[in-house]
Amino acid sequence: MFTAAFTTMVVLVGLQLAVRGEAHAISWLALPPLVASAFMAWRWVVGIGLVSLGGAFIAVWVVHSFNAFAMVDHAVDLLVVSAAVAIAAAIAVVREREDERLRELTQLASVVQQAILRPIDNRLGPFDIAARYVSSRSGAEIGGDLYEALDTEFGARIIIGDVRGKGLDAVRLSSTVLGSFRHVAFERPEQRSMIADLDRAVARGADDEDFVTAVLAQERGGTLEIVNCGHPAPMLVRDGVATYLVPESMAPPLGLGPAARELTVRLQPGDRIFLYTDGLAEARRAGEFFPIKDRAWSLIGHGNVGDGLASLETALRRWVGGPLTDDIALLLLDYRPESD
């Protein structure tokens, strides 16, 4: 940026010297500091501005054959450059303050998110498990994506969900759902009772139009019981083939009175269960959705589960080719009962 600004100044001063008094290129020297104010620290902006102003005086001085009185002809040009330097410095100062404020808010949002989404152990009952939160990096906004995995006396219990909306209200509702899940998962032997408790917790803590889509899963004796409350369907990856686990009828989201409808899957050693939020389901490039089902085996079907999620995120960002439009929560479970 500094090199470009300096080059521009040299060109403009040279142009004025070449045409002498036939054209006024001096006022264009207001551009380098103004452009620099959008990208550079205010000290650099002031430096570029002073160099521009000095170049303007030199060009006028030379054009008028070192006649100080004749410089009055270019007084307006010099005033324009001087004003541009002052304005550019002020813009740079304000921008730096706003950038610092945004960085602080983003760090705070990250801390809040990490406090709600506690780290998950890499072993849960008969599963090797990995979790990953993929941020869309949309400023200081916080998403309502959530997940948790607990080993209880009733079996391994997992939840993944997405709160409608963003910001502090979404975080508050996400915290409500996770807090309730962490309690009832150890108290209710059946998922139907858990979902009823979670639904009441959301209904109490949400506005009229708020809800939470979620998938709850429970493993007992090699059988996985899944309840889907308006959430993107989980995926089973088995023997190189990926299959969506779609129930005959989907329950409404939490907060809208879901009636639990369980889908039962008999697990085999080596099966992988992939759960995710709609940020992945809706990721697209030029209107084409990310082909997660076609690439599931190559990305997450084998190897370490943590490495699999990392590979998936890399492939997704390359596919989108730009910033993601929504945060994404990912859970990957590898059924390894022999490791118990």
Query: pLDDT at position 64, please?
Result: 58
C-alpha 59/C-alpha 70 separation (Å) is 12
Write the CB contacts of 59 (distance below 8 Å, at least 6 apart in sequence).
12, 13, 16, 17, 25, 26
Nearest to 158 by CA among 329, 336, 300, 339: 329
pLDDT in tens, 297-309: 999 988 899 999 9
Phi-psi region at 178: left, alpha or beta (left = phi > 0; alpha = psi -120 to 50): alpha
Q: Which CATH superfamily is domain 117-339 in?
A: PPM-type phosphatase domain (3.60.40.10)
Alpha helices in 276-340 (DSSP H): 278-281, 292-300, 305-320
CA torsion sign for 72, 74, 77, 81 is negative
Query: pLDDT at position 55, please?
Result: 72
CA torsion sign for 288, 291, 294, 295 is positive
Alpha helices in 22-118 (DSSP H): 31-36, 42-63, 75-116
Query: pLDDT at position 2, please?
Result: 54
Q: What are phi and psi of 176, to 5 degrees?
A: -60, -45
What DSSP string describes 194-235? HHHHHHHHHHHHS-TT--EEEEEEEEETTEEEEEEES-PPPE
Q: What tokens does 239 get?
A: 């023997």
Q: Are 329 and 120 in contact (CB under 8 A)?
A: no
Query: pLDDT at position 274, please?
Result: 97
Query: pLDDT at position 56, please?
Result: 72
Domain layout of the chain by residue ranges: 2-109, 117-339
Q: Are 263 and 223 in contact (CB under 8 A)?
A: no
Q: Please give the span between the terminal C-alpha atoms of the chain, in angstroms, as a whole number.
A: 59
In this prediction the pTM is 0.69
Q: HSE (CB half, 13 Å, CA atoms) of 266? A: 0
Low-confidence ranges of the chain (pLDDT < 50): 19, 22-23, 140
- For the chain, the residue count is 340
C-alpha 134/C-alpha 69 separation (Å) is 65
Query: pLDDT at position 23, please?
Result: 45
